[in-house]
Copies of this chain bind each other. A is one copy, B any other.
Amino acid sequence: MKKSLGARTLAWPNPVYLVGTYDHENKPNIMNAAWGGICSSEPPCLGVSVRPARHTYDAIMRRRAFTVSVPSVDLVKQADFFGIASGANLNKFEAAGLTPAPGELVAAPYVKECPLVLELELVHAIRLGSHIQFIGEIKDVKIDPNCLDEHGNPDIGLAAPILFDPALRNYHSVGPVLGKAYSLGKDLLPK
């Protein structure tokens, strides 16, 4: 018998996305978002939800562009800082000692030190209550070459992204491989 926890936001795992924007003064800003994910394949789109009070909200509405930088485990302290501090009264990049690199395709900066970064153009802003979901079309994905495997494929083990657990409010690394997708389940197909 399952125990009811009520209506709450619990559906493991959650990502740690660092959302990069230029604010109204053209200052690079960055926030930590755990409410988001890929939401379409063609065109490739990603959604990330932001409260209207956040400095990032106005920036995305103005520029209609943002980036998502995926931090590695060695940047967990900086990633957490980006979720605590506000860019309204602080240059968060400077305070964290990280480098804003200008997007090549959109008017938004990404975190140079993150192994994986996405450039996105806003296509929808959906009002959901406490949060606005910004859906961006992914215009490019960039990766540090040392996070590619020997076949040139992006290697999650080398990029070492972070997960967020909203229940116990911890960050986690990614664990070992359990098996191959589109393969493990074939045994269960009717013969």
Contacts and interface: CB of A to CB of B under 8 A. Distances in A.
A117 to B, nearest CB: 7
A96 B188 contact: yes
A150 to B, nearest CB: 12
Interface residues of A, number: 105
Given A77-B188, A84-B186, A9 B41 contact: yes
Contact of A172 (B17, B171, B176): B176
A138 B189 contact: no
Task: With a 10 A CB-CB cut-off, give which of A38, A130, A145 has the most chain B CB atoms.
Answer: A38
A7 B174 contact: no
Contacts of A42: 129-130
Contacts of A173: 175-176, 178
Interface in A25-78: 34-47, 49, 68, 70, 73, 76-78
A109 to B, nearest CB: 13
Interface of A: 1-15, 17, 34-47, 49, 68, 70, 73, 76-85, 90, 95-96, 116-118, 123-124, 126, 128-131, 133, 135, 137-145, 148-149, 153-156, 159, 161-190
12 contacts: A3-B145, A4-B141, A11-B46, A12-B159, A35-B38, A37-B37, A45-B129, A78-B185, A80-B185, A81-B187, A84-B189, A169-B182
